[in-house]
Amino acid sequence: MRKNLISIIILALCIVNLVLNALMVFVFVPAIKKTDNLVTEIAAILNLELREDGDGVIQPSIEDVQIYTLTEATTINLKNDGTGTNAYAIIGVSISMDGSSKDYESVSTKLGETESWVFDVTRSVVQEYTYTEINDAEIQKLVKREITEGLQEKYQTECIYDVTFSQFTTQQFTAQ
C-alpha cells in the first residue's frame, strides 16, 4: 500500500510539473518574442555594413559610398496634361555608387565621359510625367528608382545603386 501511495504522489507531482511547464510556455513565449524582435531591430539599426532601404535595395557602408554629381542640370519638357499650359523641370542629378564594387573604377571613369547618357536616361523617364505628377513626393521616388534602373541597364552595372536630385525645379506657363 505504501508503494502505491508513493507512486500516486509521484504521478500527481509529474502532472503538476507538466501543467506548470505548459503555463510557463504560454506566459514567457510572447515576452520572449517581443524581446527577440527588439534585439533584431536594434541589430539592424546598428549594422552599417550592409542595409536595405525601403525598396529592398542593399546599400553599401558609408565609407564605400561614392557620389558623382553631373556638372550641370538639364531642362526637360514635361508631359502635356491637356490644360493648355506647358511645363518643364530643371533637374540636377547625383549618382550614388558603391566604391567597393569591382567595376567602380571603370563606371566612374565612364560617367565622366558619357554624361549625355545620364541626361538621356533622366529625360526619357521624367518626360513621361505631368507637372502635377512630378511634384508629388511619391512619384519623385518612383522617378528616382526608374532612373537608377535605367542607368544600371545603360552602364551594365550594379555599382550604381541610387540617384538623387541635386537640383529640382518645376515651372508651368501658358503657351501663347
Say which residue the cell 539592424 belongs to: 44
User: What does the pLDDT profile of the chain (176 residues) look like in tens digits?
Assistant: 677 888 999 999 999 999 999 998 888 888 888 888 888 777 777 654 444 555 555 667 788 888 888 888 899 999 888 887 889 999 999 999 988 888 888 888 888 888 889 999 999 999 999 988 898 889 899 999 999 999 999 999 888 889 999 899 998 887 65
Nearest 5°: phi and psi at 113?
-85, -20
* Confidence (pTM): 0.65
For 4-17, letters b (16+ CB in 10 Å) and e give: eeeeeeeeeeeeee
